[in-house]
């Protein structure tokens, strides 16, 4: 029986996949297709392919080295064993920043879809939603995990159906650019498109709450298969059916695309979008609090390191959610929040790949880790230099 004040091992393969898929498929796929289409038109599809290849290599690299953190402390165990504690603290700090900004980004995305219904006081609603899910997670991982399972299922099935329903309306002319595609536009699209692909690593974070930590690797591979296939097919269907101009003009592109083809479906899709983002918000809150609590253990910070009798890091949850809500008071702009979250996430991603290169020596694994490290580093270089 689990001791009071310790994590509860209640997560199986389905829960881990739900966390990874839930954390990845959220505000990004419901907002970014329009943003990317505005930047690069139909050529934004190339950005989705580039990022899919890069993110897949990062995910597989993480899967290769997942055995390094099957006991406790998640990513810190991996980073400290390969690069030392000082580097590990820096990387964990960057990941925490990305997670806090990630929660704020998802909340801002929810706000955009709430605005679709013409509601006012969007910022207040966003902060209230963060507070609600903070409380839900304080009650225990069993409840928040079950919530994640339900929300993830409720968003995946409709997204698959939307994709299949849009495919018959694809017109080849919609893939032809109406204006020359600039390299700067395509590069900007690549950076923002990486946001929908971040979050898969959440499957690997709640190690101490997983029934069998060896399930982490299998969960990561399943998350990869689901996310990449759905993203690429959905974006082909969106641009091919309604064109990039219509997507670029909408803050809720999937709802707009569905509404243009199927009467009165826009409202239904907007609701699905909100459900999807609630799922991502819950997953990010779980990840942020666990990484924050783990860092507090390493730094011997009282209160934040402690767990409740229900086995939840209540102080870490309140602190993480509080910082995310505070960010919204300074900026409720989706693109700005997403960009900062992506940049601070990509640096740990590079080190996932470097760790895989060092620890796994077969040629296939090293090629994958090298492609992941180089492509992710190039995206970072593009952001800071170009």
Question: What is the tally of structural domains in the chain?
Answer: 1
What is the per-residue DSSP string for 144-187?
HHHHHHHHHHHHHHHHHHHHHHHGGG--GGGGS-SSPPPHHHHH
- Dihedral sign for Cα atoms in the order 52, 58, 61, 62: negative
Whether 259 is covered by a domain: the verdict is yes
Whether 3 is covered by a domain: the verdict is no
Residue 1 confidence (pLDDT):
43
Whether 319 is covered by a domain: the verdict is yes
- Among residues 203, 234, 305, the alpha carbon closest in space to that of 37 is found at 234
Domain of residue 338, residue span: 13-385
Whether 4 is covered by a domain: the verdict is no
Whether 229 is covered by a domain: the verdict is yes
Whether 93 is covered by a domain: the verdict is yes
Residue 70 confidence (pLDDT):
58
Residue 194 confidence (pLDDT):
87
Whether 116 is covered by a domain: the verdict is yes
- Among residues 287, 300, 294, 298, the alpha carbon closest in space to that of 345 is found at 287
* CATH number of the domain where residue 267 is located: 1.20.1740.10
Tell me the two tokens of residue 131.
């507070």
* pLDDT per residue as tens digits for the range 10-65: 888 998 999 899 889 877 788 889 889 988 889 999 999 999 999 999 999 998 88
Residues of the chain with pLDDT under 50: 1-2
What is the per-residue DSSP string for 61-98?
HHHHTGGGGSSSSHHHHHHHHHH-HHHHHHHHHHHHHH
Residue 2 confidence (pLDDT):
46
Q: What pTM value is reported for the model?
A: 0.87
Rounded CA-CA distance 105/90 in Å is 22
Residue 317 confidence (pLDDT):
95
Whether 21 is covered by a domain: the verdict is yes
């Amino acid at each position: 029986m689990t001791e009071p004040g310790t994590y509860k091992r209640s997560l199986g393969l389905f829960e881990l996949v739900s966390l990874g898929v839930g954390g990845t498929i959220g505000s990004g796929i419901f907002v970014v297709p329009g943003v990317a289409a505005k930047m690069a038109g139909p050529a934004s599809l190339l950005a989705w392919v580039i990022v899919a290849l890069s993110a897949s290599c990062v995910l597989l690299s993480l899967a290769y080295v997942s055995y390094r953190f099957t006991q406790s402390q998640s990513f810190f165990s991996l980073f400290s064993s390969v690069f030392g504690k000082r580097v590990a603290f820096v990387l964990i700090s960057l990941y925490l920043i990305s997670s806090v900004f990630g929660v704020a980004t998802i909340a801002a995305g929810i706000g955009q879809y709430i605005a679709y219904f013409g509601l006012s006081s969007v910022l207040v609603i966003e902060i209230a939603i963060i507070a609600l899910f903070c409380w839900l997670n304080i009650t225990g991982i069993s409840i928040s995990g079950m919530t994640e399972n339900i929300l993830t299922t409720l968003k995946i099935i409709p997204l698959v159906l939307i994709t299949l329903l849009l495919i018959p309306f694809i017109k080849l002319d919609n893939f032809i650019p109406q204006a020359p595609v600039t390299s700067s536009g395509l590069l900007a699209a690549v950076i923002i498109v990486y946001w929908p692909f971040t979050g898969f690593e959440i499957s690997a974070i709640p190690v101490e709450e997983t029934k069998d930590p060896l399930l982490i690797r299998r969960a990561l591979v399943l998350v990869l298969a689901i996310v990449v296939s759905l993203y690429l097919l959905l974006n082909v269907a969106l641009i091919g059916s309604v064109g990039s101009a219509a997507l670029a003009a909408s803050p809720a592109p999937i709802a707009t695309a569905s509404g243009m083809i199927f009467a009165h479906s826009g409202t239904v899709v907007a609701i699905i979008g909100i459900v999807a983002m609630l799922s991502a918000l819950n997953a990010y809150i779980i990840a942020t609090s666990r990484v924050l609590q783990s860092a507090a253990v390493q730094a011997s910070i009282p209160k934040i390191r402690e767990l409740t009798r229900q086995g939840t890091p209540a102080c870490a949850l309140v602190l993480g959610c509080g910082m995310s809500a505070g960010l919204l008071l300074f900026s409720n702009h989706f693109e700005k929040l997403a960009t900062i979250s992506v940049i601070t996430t990509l640096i740990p991603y590079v080190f996932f790949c470097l760790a895989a290169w060092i620890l796994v020596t077969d040629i296939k694994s090293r090629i994958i880790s090298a492609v992941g490290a180089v492509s992710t580093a190039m995206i970072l270089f593009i952001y800071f230099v170009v």
